[in-house]
Structure 1
Amino acid sequence: MLWYNILSLAFSALAIIISIIVVIYTNKNHRIECLKVVLDIETEMNARKLEFDKTSKEVCLLNITSDANENNRDEKIEILGNYFETTKENYFNSLDRLCYCIDKKYLADKDWRSEYRNMLRDTIEAFPDDFNAASAYRNIKKINELWQSN
């Protein structure tokens, strides 16, 4: 009977130690996965911002360099204008998803605030029509208000 109790105690202690090791390992893996998600979000946002900036540049260059008598100038402006709106919407959607994740505490506010606080404010100021009262980008507006008030 004594051996049975000692053996049970030893197996219980071993099970506890293994459980602690598994929890520590799982927690470490979870942090690494969270970091991967953060980096993926940032990569996606940067890609969309780059595309948005390239489109903005193309529209500006077309307005500067186009000859007033060019036959297809209006068509080019319309095509670039549509593409500009699409890239802008894609970029704003990625920002809105980031802000949603911050608002719902999927991502730590402190990790993003210092780098994106001014960028959010500048984006809203540059495109006021997209961030009016009926805006679809409520998460951007909410996080911006929070960050600007602190």
Structure 2
Amino acid sequence: MTTEEIGLYIQAVSAFSAVGALVFTGLQLKGVADSARTGAEASRISSLMAVLQLEEGIRSARRRWAEAAGQAMKIANAVKSANPPSDDEINGAKALLAESAEEYLNTMDRLCACIVRGLVNEDVYRRDFRNWIDETVREFPDDFRAGTRYFHVLRCHNQWKDEKSAKDPTVMALLNSSNP
């Protein structure tokens, strides 16, 4: 074997080794990419499960608030009756109503925080929750004044209200008529 043949043999082995290394690296990168996709999917599912739990929490808190409001109405109506409720019953009903309203507003704010932070698809949640959020802001006007601690609810409400108004044909006609 000549020196030239040995040199070619070494180049061939080096080239074969380089190709093998590239194939091996490619397989490793594919594995990393597959792992990243799996991790992203797991993260998406985890986020979805957390949001679904928040939705159930909102429904549960709203139900509890409605029950407390019903109980408060019964006590308010009983005040005028021949057998009025005691001060403890009245104060207990007020406390339960305030506590259940706060629980409802807190869970609604957590859901809106997920929307604002992009943890869920805003378009889907806008469609599903816009009316519910509008109703909440109308039902609890004192809780949505300047400096509110439920600022995520208020942010969704204001942003979506503006978008809704912008798409309203009546509003658009008024805007267009004021611009000559």
Gaps of 5+ in 1: none
Deviates more, 1:117-126 or 1:19-28: 19-28
Alignment RMSD (CA, Å) = 1.9
Q: Does 1:34 align with 2:66?
A: no
Other structure's SS at 1:68 match = coil
Deviation at 1:65, TM superposition (A): 4.8
Deviation at 1:37, TM superposition (A): 1.4
TM-score (normalizing by structure 2): 0.74
Letter paired with 2:101: K
Instruction: Evaluate the alpha carbon distance shift between residue 17 and residue 135 of structure 1 in structure 2; reply closer, same or farther with a 3 A threshold.
Output: closer
Deviation at 1:111, TM superposition (A): 2.1
Aligned to 2:131: 118
| Larger relative contact order (Cα-Cα within 8 Å, sequence gap ≥ 6) | 1
Letter paired with 1:39: L
Deviation at 1:26, TM superposition (A): 1.8
Aligned to 1:6: 19
Deviation at 1:71, TM superposition (A): 5.6
Same amino acid, percent of matched pairs: 21
Deviation at 1:80, TM superposition (A): 0.4
Aligned to 1:148: 161
TM-score (normalizing by structure 1): 0.87
Deviates more, 1:21-30 or 1:35-44: 21-30
Letter paired with 1:33: S
Gaps of 5+ in 2: 1-13, 164-180
1:84 pairs with one of 84, 97, 100: 97
Other structure's SS at 1:61 match = helix
Per-residue CA deviations over 1:97-148 (Å, capped at 9, x if unaligned) read 2222222222321121112111111121122122222422222111101011
Give the distance between the partners of 2:133 and 2:19, measured in 1 at CA.
Answer: 63
